[in-house]
Structure 1
Amino acid sequence: MAPLNIAIIVGSTRPGRNGTAVAAWVHEQASGREAATYEIIDLEDTGLPLLDEAIPALVGKYEQQHTKDWAATVARFDGFVFVTPEYNHSTSPALLNALDYVYAEWNNKAVGFVSYGTSYGVRAVEHLRGVAGELQMADIRNQVRFALPSDFPDRVFTPGPEHAEQAADLFDQLELWAGALRTVRS
């Protein structure tokens, strides 16, 4: 079987964001895994405006070219790692917006979470689990959590050895579910 394709989605577009450093670390941790290839997708690069499709995504009739491009991007992956900050007990508006744009392209795919914030970003992940369920995604239990400011001393991302262990557990579980769901989609 061909290796799985997993996207690491940088879920923040905020100036001065920590998400790019966290996503780069996740990608580095995933390098060398045999069951899957991992690729970073930065929402800043997608050009998605605030949701501007007149027809709900559930219908699957996308009108805007940026939506069609985003749908094609999402469709080519078997699973996802959402790198999310926690803003006001939830995730970033940019990530929610990107999730809302398409529907069927998310279905029957696995998703894992890497979060950061003053409460380790766990409330953002809890919110995303409900969204993932509505998009018919299988959210895995294991996640990686970073605390602000302790894991970002002097605003420099500094993960510890426990984070590498958490990431390995996340990848193992994500790849297992993504592989199983690939058979469901076929």
Structure 2
Amino acid sequence: MNERGDAGLGTGADERLKVAVIVASTREGRFAPTITDWFTGQAAHRPDLDIDVIDLAEARLPEGLSKRPGPEVTGITRRIDAADAFVVITPEYNHSYPASLKTAIDWHYEEWRAKPVGFVSYGGLSGGLRAVEHLRQVFAELHAVTVRDTVSFHGVWGCFDESGAPVDPTGPETAAKTMLDQLSWWGRTLRDGKTARPYAA
């Protein structure tokens, strides 16, 4: 049994992959909590993962990068640095991702380096995939590795019932498992690689 009381994989607390789930939207009335609750519920079935949810709506990040980082940034920095991998939950705003997420990304650099990033996106017809494609370019500049498969909700307002559960759970659950499997592989491979030799940036 591990610290969560799970059995079967024989994964100790020190061996679990530390995954920071970053909730990008900060808008009033956002749909992000529904998506986040569902996804973290899926991740909770994985005894090989240790999930830390970083909600940018609670972070109160400063606008712009001209000021010195305050305690809000410092607290997030420690959690990003401690993570072995990331999952970004993001909507699509005007064919891209929220400014709050760009601020959180730009306040950091080495903390992202040589770590994998997975995506859960949502929106209208595109399901947030245009935001994801923009983020792939940004994370590449930071020496992070983005996994190929994503979870996306197209026409998101009709994808969940009143209780917050997916109307058709099969597709999203399969997509989440695939993405997490890839994230776990990359996370462990990169973590082991950096243990053996420093990453050359």
Report the TM-score, using the length of structure 2 for normalisation: 0.82
Aligned residues, how many? 179
Query: In the superposition, relative to structure 1, how do residues 122 and 157 fare at CA in structure 2: closer, same or farther (>3 Å)?
Result: farther
**Partner of residue 163, structure 1:** 172
State the Cα deviation string for residues 7-34 of structure 1 (Å, max 9, x = none). 1111100111111110111100011312
CA contact (8 A) 1:51 1:100 kept: no
Query: CA–CA distance in 1 between the matches of 2:145 and 2:113?
Result: 9
- Residues 1:14 and 2:22 aligned together: no
**Partner of residue 194, structure 2:** 185
Q: What 5-or-longer segments of structure 1 have no aligned partner?
A: 55-61
Q: CA deviation at 1:182?
A: 0.8
Partner AA of 1:158 in structure 2: P
Query: CA–CA distance in 2 between the matches of 1:155 and 1:89?
Result: 29
Query: CA–CA distance in 2 between the matches of 1:164 and 1:78?
Result: 23
Secondary structure class of the residue paired with 1:89? coil
Say which of 73, 79, 87 aligns to 1:81: 87
Say which of 146, 150, 168 aligns to 1:143: 150
Partner AA of 1:166 in structure 2: A
- Answer with 1 or 2: which has the greater Rg: 2
CA contact (8 A) 2:38 2:165 kept: no
* Two-structure CA RMSD over aligned residues (Å): 2.0
Say which of 83, 105, 112 aligns to 1:106: 112
State the Cα deviation string for residues 147-169 of structure 1 (Å, max 9, x = none). 12331468966352110000000
Query: In the superposition, relative to structure 1, how do residues 78 and 53 fare at CA in structure 2: closer, same or farther (>3 Å)?
Result: farther
**Partner of residue 176, structure 1:** 185
Query: In the superposition, relative to structure 1, how do residues 90 and 63 fare at CA in structure 2: closer, same or farther (>3 Å)?
Result: closer
Query: CA–CA distance in 2 between the matches of 1:36 and 1:114?
Result: 17
CA contact (8 A) 1:3 1:37 kept: yes
The runs of 4+ residues in structure 1 deviating greater than 4 Å are: 152-157
CA contact (8 A) 2:139 2:145 kept: yes
Secondary structure class of the residue paired with 2:87? strand
Query: CA–CA distance in 1 between the matches of 2:64 and 2:76?
Result: 12
**Partner of residue 48, structure 2:** 35
* Bigger relative CO (Cα 8 Å, ≥ 6 apart): 1
State the Cα deviation string for residues 38-86 of structure 1 (Å, max 9, x = none). 22211111121113346xxxxxxx6533332221121011011100000
**Partner of residue 90, structure 1:** 96
Query: CA–CA distance in 1 between the matches of 2:174 and 2:70?
Result: 41
Q: What 5-or-longer segments of structure 2 have no aligned partner?
A: 1-13, 196-201
State the Cα deviation string for residues 114-141 of structure 1 (Å, max 9, x = none). 0001111010000010011011111000
- Residues 1:126 and 2:133 aligned together: yes
CA contact (8 A) 1:11 1:95 kept: yes
